[in-house]
Amino acid sequence: MKIKSTRVWIDEQFKEATLELSEGVIVNIDESNTLKADIDYGDKRILPGLVDIHNHGYNGYDANDLTKEQLQEWCDYLTTEGVTSFLATTSSSDTEKMLESMHTIGDYMKEEHHGAKVLGVYSEGPLISHEFKGGQNPIYLKKPTRAMIDQYREACQGQLKYVCIAPECDENHEAIKACVEYGIPVALGHTAATYDECSKALADGAVAFTHTFNGMKGLHHREAGVVGAAMNHPTAYCELIGDGVHVSYPACSILAQIKGKDKLILVTDSVKTKGLKAGVYMKQGRAVTVDEEGYARLENGTLTGSGNKMNVLLKKMIEIVKADPVTVINAATCNPLKLLNLDLRKGYIKKGYDADLCVLNDDYTVAQTWINGEEML
């Protein structure tokens, strides 16, 4: 199969090119346009497939309590956003159900499936602080320990790929060091840590910050806090919910400029109420109200997730925030894969890479999503 466009994202710029896809891989990139294309997308943008590493659920279910059938529906849906791979993200919830769900995800990953590919499990809770728990239910919070990491790894059959930890709750950074030993990236998040505590956690192996600005101690001129640490440590990745609601557009702009094209990661933080009509629903045993835009809030007004879509976040960051397009596109494609050490086959339009592609119209709606060289829509 050969597809072409006047705007194909190659080497951090749009170029006219024809891509030859075979057996799930990009086998040739013809910038001279001597190859005859089977599909000509005109001037539609062809990007590497979008990657969402912080995504909790969809249509009434989430990674805390999930069947294979629901996971398959979720994977099929995500292709409509141009997402080709993602992490199924757990949060603070009933331990038994969560462990069963992790096992289900591990089983699912052993099989071939249609739709977006599950890269593994992201544990965003319960190894977090009470003070900055955000919308997570405090009755399920747990102290970070090596034993907890081992339990999660065993449950998801080795597919634990990313963990959020509040470092001030992690004595001697036991859990962080266990993750480092296992090759699992650690993000600091939902945390009341000081700047120095964050710096020590980074020195002990943490590499990222969970949805920067949200669920963490802010920047103050006398105590730079978690936000200050996120901004001031150049090697640290920063997740960002770039929607103008969780984080204001000016704050999005500041973080994008500071982290640049290599360390920003765009995430939806979408939850189980995504895809549902506005109304009141139950989430981890508590009532949440979902508005017309898909944002979920507890009774006290605390945000507890969103219905964000990756292609829409891409549009907002480029057209409203006016962030550098290279920074934004990298944040939605290669950067999350670099964090996970999965960028040797995905995240770029390069010869020999997986044929995971997102074709966008001018308004950022998705014209087509390709996964392993197959059309999804």
- DSSP calls for 343-377: TTTSSS--TTSB--EEEE-TTS-EEEEEETTEE--
pLDDT in tens, 22-47: 999 999 999 998 899 999 999 999 99
Give the per-residue pLDDT at 252: 98
The SS3 call for residue 201 is: helix
pLDDT in tens, 163-188: 999 999 999 999 999 999 999 999 99
Let me know how many helices (H) and strands (E) the chain has, helices first. 10, 21
Q: Above 90 in pLDDT, residue 56?
A: yes
Cα 122 versus chain centre, distance: 9
CB-CB contact of 45 with 82 (8 Å):
no
pLDDT band at 283 (very low <50, low <70, confident <90, very high): confident
Q: What is the pLDDT of residue 286?
A: 85
Q: What is the pLDDT of residue 152?
A: 98
- CA–CA dist 26, 266 (Å, integer): 25
Query: Residue range 296-319: average pLDDT?
Result: 94
Q: Which residues pair with 46 in a beta bridge?
A: 8, 359
Average pLDDT, the chain: 97
Distance, CA of 321 to CA of 20 (rounded, Å): 34
Indicate the pLDDT class of residue 284, thresholds 50, 70 and 90.
Answer: confident
pLDDT in tens, 186-244: 999 999 999 999 999 999 999 999 999 999 999 999 999 999 999 999 999 999 999 99
> Which residue from 61, 195, 187 is spatially nearest to 127, judged by alpha carbons?
187
269 catalytic residue (yes or no): yes
Q: 252, 360, 359, 246: which is closest to 293 by C-alpha?
A: 246
Please enumerate in sequence order all residues whose Cβ is within 8 A of that of 285, keeping only pairs 6 or more positions apart, or say none.
137
Rounded-to-integer distance, Cα 315 and Cα 321, Å: 9
Name 349's Cβ contacts closer than 8 Å, sequence gap at least 6: 8, 9, 10, 19, 26, 29, 46, 47, 48, 357
Condensed to tens digits (0 to 9), the pLDDT of residues 83-134 reads: 999 999 999 999 999 999 999 999 999 999 999 999 999 999 999 999 999 9
Note whether 172 and 149 are within 8 A (CB): no
Whether the Cβ atoms of residue 151 and residue 129 lie closer than 8 Å to each other: no
Alpha-carbon gap, residue 312 to 295, rounded angstroms = 14
Report the alpha-carbon distance of residue 206 to residue 162 in Å, rounded.
11
Give 250's contacts (C-beta < 8 A, 6+ positions apart): none
Give the tokens for residue 41: 């997308």
Per DSSP, 141 falls in state -
Helix axes 146-155, 174-182, angle to 10 degrees: 40
**Residue 243: DSSP 8-state:** S
Give me the helix-helix angle, 225-232 and 195-203, nearest 10°: 40
Active-site option among 170, 269, 354, 356:
269
| pLDDT attached to residue 33 | 80
Q: 48 to each of 176, 224, 330, how far by Cα in Å? A: 31, 36, 9
Q: What is the pLDDT of residues 344-359, one digit of tens each?
A: 999 999 999 999 999 9
The closest alpha carbon to 229, from 252, 251, 208, belongs to 208
CA distances from 177 to 80, 145, 159, 205, 273 (A): 38, 10, 18, 7, 34
* Structure tokens, 213: 């600005």
Cis peptide before 48 (omega within 30 of 0): no
The span from the CA of 340 to the CA of 346, in Å, is: 11
Nearest to 97 by CA among 62, 133, 124: 62
Q: List, in sequence order, the alpha helices (H) in the chain.
A: 68-78, 95-109, 146-155, 174-182, 195-203, 225-232, 249-263, 310-315, 325-332, 334-339
User: Residue 80: what pLDDT?
Assistant: 98
